[in-house]
């Protein structure tokens, strides 16, 4: 699985060109902001006085919305892009016929998905900073967001190559992405959950994203979350490359 410096670049540029074309419509930008801002306002105003966390609930929730935004944009947009190229436009086979390694194709698509996710997260953070005076992220939080963006983008590539139809995409959303949205510490601390649920949640990447976002420095908890998230990112990328090697058009 060797990713050459020049191998992934044309794939990355292709994906970014499509992103620039989509951003040309303001609806694409505002639709990405609408979901996290609604949650931030509704939960922040409705539950802000009932949930006690260090630094205030609005600041805590803003970081959680940042994690969810990066996860959703990294995974969903990448998986939809790959699956649509397979099922509707029938253009994905062009990549397979190009003189580019499987790892480079996956890396290029995932890197573009990660950039897309980071840009969406930056828009949410800017809105939260302007309206709620949220402070800048610490280094662990920024590193966690970058890893999360690539992790879920690579996962999106793998899922986009694995599903046999768009109806299977909703299964991943309902049984994997949605539970992570609500149970991985974005809305309330994981410590509030039953112990057995905490153990299950600790296996999911978004839990470690939120741990890094809430960390002020590289303490033991932040370092362990970084290691776990890095391993999960490597696994997601490896799965994407494996699916690419076994890819069949029909």
Domain ranges in the chain?
9-245
Distances (CA, A) of 18 to 13, 127, 246: 9, 25, 26
C-alpha–C-alpha distance, residues 219 and 113, integer Å: 30
The string of DSSP letters for 57-99 reads: HHHHHHHHHHHHHHHHHHHHHHHHHHHHHHHTS--HHHHHHSS
Transcribe 96-136 into DSSP letters.
HHSS--HHHHHHHHHHHHHHHHHHHHHHHHHHHHHHH-PPP
Q: What is the pLDDT of residues 104-118, one digit of tens each?
A: 999 999 999 999 999
- CA 240 – CA 250 distance, rounded (Å): 18
Reference 190, options 168, 206, 174; nearest CA is: 206
Convert the pLDDT of each residue in 175-186 to its tens digit.
Answer: 999 999 999 999
> Rounded mean pLDDT of the chain?
88
Decide if 128 contacts 207 (C-beta within 8 A): no
Confidence bin at 131 (pLDDT 50/70/90)? confident
pLDDT in tens, 26-84: 555 666 677 787 888 788 777 766 677 877 888 899 999 999 999 999 999 899 889 88
Q: What is the largest CA-CA distance in the chain?
A: 58
Q: Is residue 209 within 8 Å of 145, Cβ to Cβ?
A: yes
Residue 18 has pLDDT above 50, yes or no: yes
Q: How high is the pLDDT of residue 30?
A: 65
The angle subtended at Cα 144 by Cα 20 and Cα 106, nearest 5°, is 50
Q: C-alpha dihedral over 67, 202, 166, 106, to 10 degrees?
A: 70
User: What's the pTM?
Assistant: 0.91
């Amino acid at each position: 699985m060797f990713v050459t410096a020049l191998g992934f670049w044309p794939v990355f540029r292709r994906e970014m060109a499509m992103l620039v074309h989509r951003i040309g419509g303001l609806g694409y930008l505002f639709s990405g902001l609408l979901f996290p801002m609604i949650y931030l306002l509704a939960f922040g105003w409705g539950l802000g006085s009932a949930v006690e966390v260090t630094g205030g609930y609005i600041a805590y929730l803003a970081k959680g919305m940042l994690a969810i935004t990066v996860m959703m944009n990294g995974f969903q947009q990448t998986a939809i892009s790959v699956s649509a190229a397979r099922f509707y436009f029938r253009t994905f086979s062009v990549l397979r016929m190009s003189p580019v390694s499987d790892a480079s194709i996956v890396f290029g698509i995932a890197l573009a998905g990660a950039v897309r996710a980071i840009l969406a997260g930056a828009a949410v953070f800017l809105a939260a900073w302007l309206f709620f005076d949220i402070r800048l992220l610490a280094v662990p939080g920024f590193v966690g967001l970058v890893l999360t963006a690539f992790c879920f983008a690579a996962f999106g590539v793998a899922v986009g190559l694995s599903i046999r139809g768009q109806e299977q995409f909703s299964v991943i959303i309902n049984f994997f992405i949605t539970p992570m949205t609500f149970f991985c510490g974005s809305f309330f601390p994981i410590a509030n959950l039953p112990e057995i649920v905490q153990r299950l949640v600790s296996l999911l990447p978004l839990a470690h994203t939120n741990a890094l976002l809430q960390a002020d420095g590289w303490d033991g908890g932040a370092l362990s979350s970084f290691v776990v998230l890095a391993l999960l990112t490597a696994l997601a990328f490896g799965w994407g490359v494996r699916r690419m090697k076994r890819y069949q058009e029909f």
